[in-house]
Amino acid sequence: MKISILIPVNNFDIVALVYSIKNGMEKVPEFCEILIGDDGSTETYREKYLSLAGDNVRVIVSDKNIGRAAIRNKLITEATGDYVLFIDADALVPGNADTYMKKYLNYIKLSKVISGGILYRKSPPGDPDRMLRWRYGYYREAKKARERNKNPYAAFSTFNVLIDKSVFSKLRFYEELKQYGHEDTLLSYQMKKAGIEILHIDNGLIHEGLETNSEFLAKTKLGIENLSLLYDRVTDKKTFTSVVRLLQTYNRLRIFKLNKILAAFFIRFREKMEIRLDSTRVSLKLFWFYKISLFCTFREIHGRKKN
């Protein structure tokens, strides 16, 4: 049994991450290689990645940015292992990398998809301009395995996940999604449709790459736009909705015809909400309201385009 570690990256310093993993591989031989997927990075960053090549480290280069889905598919094709372990570029291994790797081996026979989870530092960042991302991550994303296993498909993320490569003989990341957001949501939906179970364990990596408030809001907009587009394209909307809490809320709003009201509210008060969210006193309830009203707005826009 061999496991390939796949790290898709665009303009982010992964030198420390790769060295940490390489040290762990010396004690856990089942992990056979690290594949770095350079998705259109600048020359400065590309040189850093290429300097890491050798000793079971390969760099797969895309000269232009092809998107999060496409670079992941490219890495899967290049991987020689029986399993692939996806690790995001802005992750940090807490403690010893070999301990992290061995824990996956303890569970590898129990499921074809094993999610290790995501961690955030307990202390808020010193930069108040990154407070929104930290608060959302710490209070909404960093959940114990027992909590994630209550709705395993909704809690799925490619930030830190081990997948049997045979899963990708039928499934692939959806490459038509070029901009940021929800390519992992669609893969989770496809897994649920295919009857592929997801097991969550407590083997988290620390999310180090905290975006600024404005950057995170911009990514949120892109992700929610993608979600609206995907909602129109999936064939089984009931199953797709079951893996996305936002869609469940949206459908309840539609029953009472509140979706159009929220869309109108978003258009009128978007700027004021964003000013509130881009502050040191971040309200996650407001952020949730911002996201659902933004989704209602995109549904109105995409509905008019179809007509």
Share of the chain above pLDDT 90, in %: 91
Distance CA 158, CA 170 (A): 18
Residue that finishes a domain, picked among 194, 210, 226 = 210
The verdict on 126 and 228 lying in the same domain is: no
Q: Using one digit for the tens of pLDDT, what is the confidence trace for 108-153?
A: 999 999 999 999 999 999 999 999 999 999 999 999 999 999 999 9
Residue that finishes a domain, picked among 173, 190, 210 = 210
The verdict on 40 and 64 lying in the same domain is: yes
* Number of domains present in the structure of the chain: 2
Q: Using one digit for the tens of pLDDT, what is the confidence trace for 58-77?
A: 999 999 999 899 999 999 99
Q: Using one digit for the tens of pLDDT, what is the confidence trace for 180-205?
A: 778 899 999 999 999 999 999 999 99
pLDDT > 70? residue 289:
yes
Is the Cα dihedral 193, 194, 197, 198 positive or negative? negative
The verdict on 236 and 204 lying in the same domain is: no
Long-range contacts of 249-252 (CB under 8 A, 24+ apart): 249/292, 250/292, 250/295, 250/296, 250/299
The verdict on 206 and 222 lying in the same domain is: no
The verdict on 131 and 269 lying in the same domain is: no
For the residues 210-235, what does the mean pLDDT come to? 94
The angle formed by the CA atoms of residues 243, 158 and 84, to the nearest 5 degrees, is 125
The verdict on 259 and 187 lying in the same domain is: no
The verdict on 30 and 111 lying in the same domain is: yes
Is the Cα dihedral 261, 235, 158, 153 positive or negative? positive
**What is the average pLDDT value for the chain, to the nearest integer?**
94
The verdict on 38 and 142 lying in the same domain is: yes
Residue that finishes a domain, picked among 210, 228, 262 = 210
The verdict on 49 and 151 lying in the same domain is: yes
The residue segments making up the domain with residue 143 are 3-210
Q: In this structure, what token pair is assigned to residue 125?
A: 């960042």
The angle formed by the CA atoms of residues 59, 64 and 67, to the nearest 5 degrees, is 85
The verdict on 225 and 205 lying in the same domain is: no
Instruction: Specify the CATH number for the domain of residue 192.
Output: 3.90.550.10
Q: Using one digit for the tens of pLDDT, what is the confidence trace for 160-180?
A: 999 999 999 989 998 887 667
| Continuous segment of H or E residues that includes residue 239 | helix 237-242
The verdict on 94 and 206 lying in the same domain is: yes
Query: Which residues are 34's β-sheet partners?
Result: 5, 57
Q: Using one digit for the tens of pLDDT, what is the confidence trace for 240-268?
A: 999 999 999 999 999 999 999 999 999 99
pLDDT top residue among 302 and 60: 60
The verdict on 52 and 168 lying in the same domain is: yes
